Amino acid sequence: MSSHKSTTIQEAQDISNMSDAEKKHVPMIHIDGTPRAGDPFEVTVWVGEQLSHPSEPGHHIEFIDLYLDDMFIARCDLTPGHTYPKACFSVMIDRSGSLRAYERCNLHGDWTYSLEVSV
Ligand SMILES: [Fe+2]
């Protein structure tokens, strides 16, 4: 893929058959336990789960964001060389919806992934 910084948000075309660029950049979401309305639960967002992404000044993940539908929940800012692009958030939601993760690579732009949650 091009190293040109894109303004479009990219996602996996086929999550079960991802390209190498997708494996490195799609922010996979994992939920620990069964979410219940108003109770905290753990949401882990892992960039590069299937193919490790670099964490160096010239090429790195700048941040990982988490939304419920269009509502911003949390951001994790990352420092290259000192972080691995994987973030765990303790989240409380009061309704079902789509948990949406976003990440930005300084070379390869913005990427997203979403997971439906029912509470
Ligand atoms: Fe990248």
The domain ranges of the chain are 9-117
Q: Are 118 and 72 a contacting pair, CB within 8 Å?
A: no
The superfamily (CATH) of domain 9-117 is: SOR catalytic domain (2.60.40.730)
Q: Does the reported pTM lie above 0.85?
A: yes
Provide the residue type at 5 as one letter. K
What is the Å distance from ligand 1's center to 15 Cα?
18
pLDDT at residue 7, rounded to an integer: 72
State the distance from the centre of ligand 1 to the C-alpha of 34, rounded, in angstroms. 32
Residue in the block written with tokens 């919806």? 97
Q: What is the pLDDT of residues 41-79, one digit of tens each?
A: 999 999 999 999 999 999 999 999 999 999 999 999 999
Q: How far is the CA of 54 from the centre of ligand 1 (A)?
A: 7
Looking at every residue in the chain, the average pLDDT score rounds to: 94
- What percent of the chain shows pLDDT beyond 70? 95
Quote the ligand 1 centre to 105 CA distance (angstroms).
5
Nearest Cα residue to 78 out of 62, 59, 57 = 62
Range 11-15 average pLDDT: 94
pLDDT at 6: 54
pLDDT band at 4 (very low <50, low <70, confident <90, very high): low
pLDDT at position 76, please? 98
